């Protein structure tokens, strides 16, 4: 496909106008002039009319629990601990693999609708989730949820050790590297030290990334310090050697200055989840301080049970605004920093070094927005308009590895109506059994 006469964001996230060519799954031309004029033999197939459109790097959702679409609108207006133990966990105990698969497809369709090309997903039913990723064409880093309630159990005695090895062997870097497998520890408070240490070592031996929840609530953070001799969750994981492999730490709301140094020196990525953290009244991650510390900060939606939506452009808007209000400083977290968190920083976090920006040689993971609406007018600064005025519904095309996976209401790879119907049936059945 040749995106013709289109506004686009270059590798510096500056707005330019011209042509972007996609062949064999990659971007092979970016420039002001039509490449077919100088080389008529070039065959891009479709010429996409860019009038009234903006081409952006595809968006990255670095923390999700995708099959939790089954719980959309359920367990509302509760604090985290009550939300988890009294509502979410009992519901999740009744989810079966056959129900998780259509829910995963619904989540993927929703993300594609809003320009997401790749997501990091922490959940169960990994075979079904991998199948949905394979069929849909999206990219994903999947980790199998690991929760430990026994303080004495060893990882070697848990079935998770063998299953994680099998998942890495079967799926990691398959589908032309669209699918990656990470290892998971749910959190400090749903784990024990010997399992944390063993999973960190397994990740090192297998050469894969890790994904955790970290300091999501004040209670979690302070109780960890009480349990672990004054160690914060970040210090606790570091003390056990867990950060030897690249790690995505979700939330990080109640981290302290010493934690930011720990995360920075270990190359840990923070996945900020502004909508979820606000809805559960967990607070605000100290993003300006993290950026100043040199931490790779990215953007996540969390599960829809705590956000209700995979529309990451809503999270982008919140991410770009709330720190100005929280700090009283309107200069913190610029529009460009916010968009970097949702694009190139997310690609780095997932180990996708040939993705995340519109540049020659990169994989063709892009989204097109219709910018002809009144909320984009006047177009004095398209980057600011995108971050502060753009809507998820503005996305009209999402492309992954050069394949169009969403366009003008059509999903070429997903039977969306069937997935929605089956997910609705599954939720009703689970609610009836509670």
Question: Any alpha helices (H) in 186-300, and if so which ranges?
Answer: 193-206, 218-227, 233-239, 257-265, 274-279, 287-292
pLDDT at 84: 87
Task: Indicate the domain borders of the chain.
Answer: 2-57+364-407, 59-349
* CATH T-level assignment (fold) for domain 59-349: TIM Barrel (3.20.20)
Q: φ and ψ at 272, to 5 degrees?
A: -80, 135
Length of the chain: 434
Q: How far apart are CA 312 and CA 302, in angstroms?
A: 10
Alpha carbon 324 to its chain centroid, in Å, reads 23
Q: Are the C-beta atoms of 255 and 232 separated by less than 8 Å?
A: yes
Question: Any alpha helices (H) in 298-343, and if so which ranges?
Answer: 312-327, 335-342
| Per-10-residue mean pLDDT, the chain, length 434 | 98 98 98 95 96 98 98 90 90 97 98 98 98 98 96 96 98 98 97 98 98 97 97 98 98 98 98 96 95 98 96 98 94 97 98 98 98 97 98 98 98 98 98 95
Q: Where are the beta strands (DSSP E) in 10-100?
A: 15-23, 26-31, 47-49, 53-57, 59-64
Q: How far apart are CA 184 and CA 213, in angstroms?
A: 9
Q: What is the CATH number of domain 2-57+364-407?
A: 2.30.40.10
């Amino acid at each position: 496909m040749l995106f013709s006469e289109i506004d686009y964001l270059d590798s510096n996230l500056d707005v330019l106008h011209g042509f972007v060519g996609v062949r064999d799954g990659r971007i092979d031309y970016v420039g002001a002039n039509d490449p077919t004029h100088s080389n008529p033999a070039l065959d891009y197939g479709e010429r996409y009319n860019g009038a009234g459109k903006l081409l952006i790097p595809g968006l990255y959702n670095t923390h999700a629990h995708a099959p939790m679409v089954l719980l959309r609108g359920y367990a509302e207006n509760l604090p985290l601990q009550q939300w988890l133990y009294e509502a979410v966990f009992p519901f999740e105990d009744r989810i079966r693999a056959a129900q998780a698969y259509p829910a995963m497809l619904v989540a993927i369709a929703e993300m594609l609708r809003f320009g997401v090309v790749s997501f990091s997903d922490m959940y169960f039913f990994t075979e079904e989730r991998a199948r949905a990723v394979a069929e849909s064409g999206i990219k994903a880093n999947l980790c199998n949820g690991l929760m430990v309630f026994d303080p004495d159990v060893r990882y070697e005695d848990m079935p998770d050790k063998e299953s994680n090895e099998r998942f890495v062997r079967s799926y990691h870097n398959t589908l032309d590297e669209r699918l990656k497998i990470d290892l998971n520890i749910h959190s400090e408070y749903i784990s024990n030290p010997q399992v944390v240490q063993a999973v960190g070592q397994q990740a090192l031996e297998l050469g894969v990334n890790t994904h955790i929840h970290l300091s999501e609530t004040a209670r979690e953070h302070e109780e960890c310090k009480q349990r672990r001799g004054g160690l914060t969750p970040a210090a606790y994981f570091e003390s056990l050697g867990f950060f030897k492999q690249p790690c995505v730490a979700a939330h990080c709301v109640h981290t302290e200055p010493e934690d930011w140094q720990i995360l920075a020196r270990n190359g840990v990525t923070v996945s900020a989840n502004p909508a979820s953290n606000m809805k559960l009244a967990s607070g605000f991650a100290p993003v300006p301080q993290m950026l100043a510390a040199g931490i790779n900060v990215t953007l996540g939606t969390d599960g829809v049970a705590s956000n209700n939506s995979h529309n990451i452009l809503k999270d982008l808007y919140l991410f770009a605004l709330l720190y100005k209000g929280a700090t009283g400083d309107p200069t913190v977290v610029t529009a460009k920093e916010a968009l970097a968190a949702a694009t190139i920083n997310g690609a780095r976090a997932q180990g996708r070094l040939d993705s995340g920006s519109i540049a020659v040689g990169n994989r063709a993971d892009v989204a097109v927005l219709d910018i002809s609406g009144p909320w984009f007018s006047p177009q004095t600064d398209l980057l600011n308009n995108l971050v502060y005025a753009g809507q998820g519904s503005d996305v009209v095309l999402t492309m992954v590895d050069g394949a169009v996976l969403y366009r003008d209401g059509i999903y070429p790879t997903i039977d969306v109506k069937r997935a929605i119907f089956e997910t609705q049936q599954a939720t009703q059945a689970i609610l009836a059994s509670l």
